[in-house]
Amino acid sequence: MSGFVIQQPGLLSLLQDRGRYGAHNLGLTTGGPLDFIAFDWANRLLGNDANATCIEIGFGGLTLEAEIDTSCVITGAEAPCKLNGDAILQWQTIDIATGDRLEIGFASKGTRCYLAVGGGFDIDPSFGSSSTVVREKIGGLHGDKLQAGDRLPCGPGRVDRQLRLNEADRPEYGDFALLRVVTGYQQAAFAPGQQWRFFNTEYRLTDRCDRMGFRLEGETVHSDMVGMLSEGICHGAIQIPADGQPIVLMNDRQTIGGYPKIGSVIAEDTARLAQLSPGAVVKFEQISIEQAHNIHCLQQAQFARTEPEPC
């Protein structure tokens, strides 16, 4: 099957669908897009299935050549994008012809772009998903990041009409994020003063941030727990290791862990966290599980009722 050929893979380009669910009992983590909001819009603007496979482009630098006539959308981080050397816009459908050269430059705002094509890339699932988790060597083409010369199959996917997402409806990427947190049963292991410090400190992202977890630095926080058995870890969990510096666990996190957890960042905010660069500032805000549920439902409703406009 024809599709696209990778000419330059960029720093970290990964094939992702919505994620691998129901496999934690096998020790396999979820994977999937770090910024699911940008991912969902890339597929929606093309009329794709919500789970269609896209490319997550970490920091940019991806160049592809088309072997098929189709359409594409690039969402997420702000980056210079070109088709055959001419600048093209993000957040809108673009027609692609056989032989075209598509370039996604390096991000200037945000850190991750998403490239979707009409109908999605045709990638065989591994344990029910095409999502690439490099640590586990599963998903994608060969369980690894994309390499020069890789061929990404897809069918003809030229859309009938071009759509764009209005600028007012697009996410904004900056150098600060307020992360809303639902506390869990281990909250009691942190003394009131330690909890106050955690929720009233501005933390900075270190350069040790990847798809497994984002390490922060700032005021130290310590737990009264001396030791604990390893247990399952949810997306967004905030581990506090012995050095007292929080780690927010992301899509490629390990399935179990033994550090105390003060709470979990909600998914809408891990998507914003994923678009921050090292040195950016975050602050945590405690909310109830009922508030988290409402935020999630409102985000879904807003996505459903936001209508793209014709180009």
How high is the pLDDT of residue 31? 98
User: How long, in residues, is the chain?
Assistant: 311
Q: How far is CA 304 from CA 91, 256, 300, in A?
A: 16, 34, 6
CA 225 to chain centre: 32
Last residue of a domain, one of 136, 162, 188: 162
How high is the pLDDT of residue 228? 80
- Specify if 311 maps to a domain: no
- Specify if 200 maps to a domain: yes
How high is the pLDDT of residue 226? 75
Q: Are residues 156 and 181 in the same domain?
A: no
Q: Are residues 43 and 87 in the same domain?
A: yes
Q: Which stretch of DSSP H or E encloses residue 56? A: strand 54-58
Q: Are residues 110 and 139 in the same domain?
A: yes
Last residue of a domain, one of 137, 162, 187: 162
Number of domains composing the chain: 2
Which residue(s) pair with 286 in the sheet?
181
- Specify if 155 maps to a domain: yes
How high is the pLDDT of residue 68? 96
CA 148 to chain centre: 23
Q: Are residues 12 and 58 in the same domain?
A: yes
Please state, in angstroms and rounded to a whole number, the distance separating the CA atoms of residues 59 and 256: 29
Which residue(s) pair with 133 in the sheet?
138
Q: Are residues 215 and 249 in the same domain?
A: yes
Q: Are residues 44 and 105 in the same domain?
A: yes
> Which pair of tokens denotes residue 133?
């988790």
Please state, in angstroms and rounded to a whole number, the distance separating the CA atoms of residues 232 and 139: 22
Residue 128 identity (one-letter amino acid): G
Q: What is the extent of the structural domain holding 31?
A: 3-162
Residue 175 identity (one-letter amino acid): D
Record the pTM: 0.97
* All residues at 6 or more sequence positions from 5 whose CB lies less than 8 Å from its CB, including other chains: 64, 65, 67, 149, 150, 151, 152
Q: Are residues 223 and 146 in the same domain?
A: no
Q: Are residues 119 and 219 in the same domain?
A: no
Q: Are residues 195 and 121 in the same domain?
A: no
- Mapped to the 3 state alphabet, what secondary structure does 212-229 carry? CEEEEECCCCCCCCCCCC
- Specify if 301 maps to a domain: yes
Which of the residues in the chain have pLDDT under 70? none
Sign of the C-alpha dihedral computed for residues 33, 35, 41 and 42 taken in this order: negative
Please state, in angstroms and rounded to a whole number, the distance separating the CA atoms of residues 272 and 232: 24
- Specify if 169 maps to a domain: no
- Specify if 170 maps to a domain: no
CA 249 to chain centre: 12
How high is the pLDDT of residue 302? 97
